[in-house]
Amino acid sequence: MNRRAKSIWVILLLALTGITVFDACDYKPRNQGQKLYEKECASCHMENGQGLGELIPPVANADYVVKHKEDLACIIRHGIAGPMTVNGIEYDGEMEGNTKLSDIEINNLIHYLLVDLNQQKEHFVISDIRAQLEDCQFHSDK
Which residues in this chain contact ligand HEC in the complex, by CB under 6 A? Answer: 40-41, 43-45, 56-59, 62, 64-65, 72, 75-76, 80-82, 84, 86, 91-95, 98, 109
Pick between residue 31 and residue 93 the one whose CB is nearest to ligand HEC.
93
Distance between CA atoms of 75 and 29, rounded to whole angstroms?
Answer: 19
- We find the least distance from the C-beta atom of residue 111 to ligand HEC, in angstroms, to be 11
- We find the least distance from the C-beta atom of residue 9 to ligand HEC, in angstroms, to be 44
Distance between CA atoms of 76 and 41, rounded to whole angstroms?
Answer: 10
- We find the least distance from the C-beta atom of residue 33 to ligand HEC, in angstroms, to be 9
